[in-house]
Amino acid sequence: MTNLAPIDDAITIPDLISDPYPIYKRLRAEAPVIRVKSVGRTMLTKATDTRMAKDNPAIFSSDDPNTPMERAFQAHTLMRKDAEAHARERGAMAPSYTAKNIKGSWEPIYRKIAEKYVAGLPRGETVDLFTTLAGPFAAECLTHLLGITNASVADMERWSQVLIDGAGNFGWADAPFVASDLANAEMNACFDAMIDLHKAEQGPSALAVMVNAEDPIEMSQIRSNIKIAIGGGINEPRDALLTIVAGLLINPDQFDACKMEGLWGDAFDEGVRWVAPIQVSSRLVKEDVEIRGCLVPKGDTVMTIQASACHDEDLYENPDAFDIFRKKQPHQAFGNGPHFCQGMHIAKRMLAQLMLPMLFDRFPNMELAGPVEFTGFGFRGPAAVKVKLA
């Protein structure tokens, strides 16, 4: 008879928010499958296990009825669906993310937005790149990709945070849902105001391709999947950019190599491996399954810790170091399986090909103006990156 996974009642959520990496390191070595009381989930911390779970949606389902996400988004989004239902909704947005559209439609627009924000940075002064660059750049780019250019940067950043707070409201407190209900009403009005224009123009944005499809998905799903992209399309590129900038400025030899040899793609891959912007995902267990000798029973929820997978000693030497020269191999920062990040190519284009070379071409001698503190358990990135612009 196989035993259930061991239980931990010492790990706290504040510890995970402050620095989860030493905790995951210990769990990988001592208890890679473990029920963590404070989180109410069975954590999987080894790379082969997180990959296995995400690659097997028949056993590890995304359709988790206990998630507060449905309440926060006022609908089940594509992230919480499996099989055909998921493929249908993911396919509805897909034409917007093709390589042809990334190059032909989004790159020229994103380039102009990047130029505007980089040009607005005051040379010689000390600024926080979170508020002056990374947040607004990510938000403004997304208004174009999604086809909601009537939304302001401030609205986008606020909606994104409200959705994230609601989706993470595992205590089911009232206040985050009151805020998300209000934001949902604003977002629905914003989307509806664009529909006639999109029907007339037939452009490549996500909203346009969904409303103009021959066999469109339901309006409730069009809305909720635009919302999932608002909730998930701002903070990840923002946090990835800040993490990469921090990694480079902390490591002057790597920064110099990037500037001399244009290794921005390597810096991008290493930055998201080093501190994965989305650190964890949840899957509902549909049948009893054994992982590393532990019974994980039907009805349990596993948390695949891709942040830990990206630091697994089986794959990476000295995993806690930011090292753009490390041996190349696939990482799990964009997930894997059917829910693999739909925005990966666009995120890489906007950071590795546009923002990073442009930013450091203008400020090649940029320096950190203080230590960088990372924060977050589900999502993680620097709370601020203060730099001297030189």
Q: Which residues bind ligand HEM (CB under 6 A)?
A: 54, 78-79, 90, 228-229, 232-233, 236-237, 240, 272, 277-278, 281, 306, 333-335, 339, 341-343, 346-347
353 CB contacts (<8 Å, ≥6 apart)? 107, 264, 265
User: With respect to ligand HEM, which residue has the nearer C-beta, 229 or 324?
Assistant: 229
Give me the least distance between CB of 351 and ligand HEM, in Å please.
7
Between the alpha carbon of residue 224 and those of residues 57, 160, 339, the distances in Å are 21, 13, 16
Asked if 372 contacts 387 with a C-beta cutoff of 8 angstroms, the reply is no
Please, is 203 exposed, middle or buried when counting C-beta atoms within 10 Å of its C-beta (0-12, 13-18, 19+)?
A: middle
* CB closer to ligand HEM, 295 vs 341: 341
- Kindly state the smallest distance separating residue 6's Cβ from ligand HEM, in Å: 25
Q: Provide the minimum distance between the beta carbon of 236 and ligand HEM in the complex, in angstroms, as a whole number.
A: 3
Nearest CB to ligand HEM, comparing residues 27 and 272: 272
Cβ partners under 8 Å of residue 212, min gap 6 = 198, 199, 202
Sequence-separated contacts (24+) of 313-317 with Cβ below 8 Å = 313/28, 314/46, 314/47, 314/48, 315/47, 316/273
20 or 237: whose CB is closer to ligand HEM? 237
CB of 2 to ligand HEM, least distance (A): 27
Tokens for 192, please give them.
């509806």
- Name the residue nearer to ligand HEM (CB basis): 32 or 147: 147
The structure tokens listed for 339 are: 């829910």
Q: In the complex, what is the shortest distance from the CB of residue 389 to ligand HEM, in angstroms, rounded to a whole number?
A: 24
Task: Give the shortest CB-234-to-ligand HEM separation in angstroms.
Answer: 8
Nearer to ligand HEM, 176 or 343 (CB): 343
Closest residue to bound ligand HEM by CB:
343
- Rank residues 236 and 270 by Cβ distance to ligand HEM and give the closer one: 236
**In the 8-state DSSP scheme, what is residue 310?**
T
Contacts of 190 by beta carbon, 8 Å cutoff, 6+ apart = 148, 150, 151, 155
Nearer to ligand HEM, 23 or 346 (CB): 346
Q: Judge residue 9's burial from the number of C-beta atoms within 10 Å of its C-beta, 0-12 exposed, 13-18 middle, 19 or more buried.
A: exposed
We find the least distance from the C-beta atom of residue 235 to ligand HEM, in angstroms, to be: 9
Q: Compute the least distance from the CB of residue 337 to ligand HEM, in Å.
A: 7
Alpha carbon distance 131, 386 (integer Å): 10
